[in-house]
Amino acid sequence: MSNNEEIIEEVEAIDAQIDVATDAVHAQVNELEQLQAGGGGEGSMGLEQLLAVGVEVTVEVGRTRSTFSELMKMGPGTLLELDRDAHEPADILVNGKIVANGEIVTIGDRYGVRITAVLAD
């Protein structure tokens, strides 16, 4: 198999995973439509208000443990070895809960994350 064929297969696999994630989001939005404005008394929240609620998204590439003594010795140039191999996906957390995995990418001069899997509840 040529390098181009391998790249095409990888892109198709990622597209398929994105389609699965998109379908999951659509299913969740459809379930939330019952919250849309209509019924409910004062103080009830409609779908538009719920979808506007901010959430904290964190991308975790790994962790390590250290003693306080080792932390005090750290400075510029210190290397910390994380608990993951370089090829392992990063965890994507929403409000502290892991909801997906992804790969770290660069977008211009910034880092980003490409979602590769959305985890079930």
**Pairing outcome for strands 110-118 and 57-60:** unpaired
- Strand pairing partners for 110? 107
**Pairing outcome for strands 97-107 and 110-118:** antiparallel
Q: Where is pLDDT greater, at 50 or 39?
A: 50
The pLDDT of residue 21 is: 75
pLDDT at 44 over 60: yes
If you classify domain 55-121 with CATH, what class do you get?
A: mainly beta
d(CA 55, CA 75): 33
pTM for this model (two decimals):
0.57
The pLDDT of residue 115 is: 95
The fraction of the chain above a pLDDT of 90, given in percent, is: 50
The structural domains of the chain, with segments of one domain joined by +, span: 1-53, 55-121
Q: Where is pLDDT greater, at 90 or 50?
A: 90
Q: Is the dihedral of CA 76, 81, 87, 91 positive or negative?
A: negative
